[in-house]
């Protein structure tokens, strides 16, 4: 996959200096996307040309079906789509579960749609790896002979609810990839509302942050283990790292390097980077690069329409109210809580602003490709 020569040019327009602790010295109001793009000047055209090539439509279903006509292998079984074609890097509480459902609809629908051999169905092997099953995730990524390895090598499609470094570990560096970003403050607050009891023991989020600041990684002894507390501080930056693989969210020594690693991957690793707040346009970009994801496929006998669902919403009864009832948390955090989230997610906030500018460039690239056709 191509890397444009001005990888960090856009990022440098947006990033405030980091001090020794890794926290931003100030939180500037985010620039409007048009302002930042205007500052790029003539280089914008070069970046868009790179993105036009990266985002060009591709279809591994149609490719596998066409290749079958030229095969000399045994033709008695299904047409197996070659491994390591495509993966979704899922960030928790960023629309990832909904995107998984949307992708699943498209994948399931595409197999019969693109098959032209009546006696040989298209077969798509798929697997998933998730930090939600943290014990399994750690064994899978640290034990060389773990059974997951062979499964992931044979899969054509993967759901990785895990850091990008895990995809590198299993040899998926050349596969097409997509991901979805969400405003960091909204993402953290959504996670808090979703796991109020199991992860955060029905405490105020500001109190959870105070404990994290005081105890560091030992705070897991008081609150939920696994990825619970890591979800509250720069989780997206950590997820987008491929060079640095460090689960210690309290260690800020490598924050500048972490951000550079994440920014490089954000701008260069993915075919499409979606924005949850721009959902309709995101679906359009996905459908542009992966035609089998169009909500409706022309001439299909399959009546199913693939629409983007809303799943994994906050529970209606979180068990943190009086007598085990519901603690009715607001849809948005109060000012004190918002400031605490911002203070603990400076890297993610910077990353998200670059992501917003990158999204605008993707839209321009898709438009340019359509105009050229």
Position 23 pLDDT exceeds 70: no
Classify 80 as helix, strand or coil.
Answer: strand
d(CA 299, CA 27): 51
d(CA 41, CA 144): 48
Does any domain span residue 25?
A: no
Does any domain span residue 147?
A: yes
Does any domain span residue 19?
A: no
Does any domain span residue 35?
A: no
Task: List the Cα angle 80/81/84 in 5-degree steps.
Answer: 130
User: Could you tell me where the DSSP H helices lie in the chain?
Assistant: 9-14, 33-40, 43-54, 60-68, 96-113, 134-142, 148-154, 164-169, 184-194, 205-215, 235-239, 255-268, 279-289, 335-343, 346-372
**Count of domains observed in the chain:** 1
Global pTM exceeds 0.75: yes
CATH number of residue 97's parent domain: 3.40.50
Does any domain span residue 326?
A: yes
d(CA 79, CA 67): 9
Among candidate residues 104, 69, 73, the one with its CA nearest the CA of residue 88: 104
Query: Among the listed ranges 12-16, 153-157, 164-168, 195-199, which one has the minimum average pLDDT value?
Result: 12-16
Classify 175 as helix, strand or coil.
Answer: coil
d(CA 249, CA 145): 28
Confidence grade of residue 16 (pLDDT, cut at 50, 70, 90):
low
Does any domain span residue 12?
A: no
CA distances from 97 to 91, 130, 312, 316 (A): 9, 12, 7, 18
Mean pLDDT of 50-74: 86
Identify the domain containing residue 98 by its residue range.
Answer: 42-65+75-372
Does any domain span residue 9?
A: no
In sequence order, what are the residues at sequence separation of 6 or more whose Cβ sits closer than 8 angstroms to the Cβ of residue 301?
Answer: none
Does any domain span residue 343?
A: yes
Dump pLDDT digits (tens) for 267-316: 999 999 999 999 999 999 999 999 999 999 987 655 678 999 887 677 77
Mean pLDDT of 264-268: 95
């Amino acid at each position: 996959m191509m890397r444009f020569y001005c990888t960090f040019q856009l990022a440098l327009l947006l990033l405030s200096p980091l001090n020794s602790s890794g926290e931003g010295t100030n939180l500037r109001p985010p620039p409007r996307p048009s302002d930042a793009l205007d500052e790029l000047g003539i280089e914008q055209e070069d970046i868009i040309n790179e993105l036009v090539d990266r985002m060009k439509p591709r279809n591994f279903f149609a490719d596998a079906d066409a290749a079958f006509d030229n095969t000399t292998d045994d033709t008695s079984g299904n047409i197996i789509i070659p491994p390591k074609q495509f993966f979704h890097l899922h960030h928790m509480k960023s629309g990832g579960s909904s995107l998984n459902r949307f992708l699943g609809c498209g994948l399931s629908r595409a197999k019969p749609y693109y098959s032209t051999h009546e006696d040989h169905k298209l077969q798509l092997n798929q697997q998933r790896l998730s930090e939600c099953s943290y014990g399994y995730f750690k064994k899978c990524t640290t034990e060389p002979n773990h059974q997951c390895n062979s499964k992931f090598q044979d899969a054509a499609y993967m759901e990785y609810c895990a850091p990008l470094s895990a995809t590198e570990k299993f040899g998926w560096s050349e596969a097409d990839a997509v991901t979805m970003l969400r405003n960091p403050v909204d993402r953290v607050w959504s996670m808090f509302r979703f796991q109020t009891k199991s992860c955060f023991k029905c405490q105020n989020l500001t109190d959870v942050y105070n404990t994290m600041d005081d105890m560091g990684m030992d705070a897991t002894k008081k609150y939920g283990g696994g990825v619970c507390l890591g979800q509250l501080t720069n989780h997206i930056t950590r997820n987008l790292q491929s060079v640095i693989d460090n689960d210690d969210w309290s260690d800020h020594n490598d924050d500048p390097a972490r951000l550079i690693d994440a920014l490089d991957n954000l701008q260069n690793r993915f075919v499409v980077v979606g924005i949850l707040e721009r959902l309709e346009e995101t679906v359009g970009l996905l459908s542009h690069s992966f035609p089998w994801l169009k909500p409706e496929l022309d001439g299909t006998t399959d009546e199913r329409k693939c629409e983007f669902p809303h799943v994994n919403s906050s529970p209606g009864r979180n068990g943190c109210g009086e007598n085990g009832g519901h603690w009715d948390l607001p849809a948005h955090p109060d000012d004190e809580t918002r400031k605490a989230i911002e203070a603990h997610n400076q890297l993610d906030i910077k990353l998200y602003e670059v992501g917003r500018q990158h999204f605008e460039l993707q839209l321009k690239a898709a438009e340019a490709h359509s105009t050229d056709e």
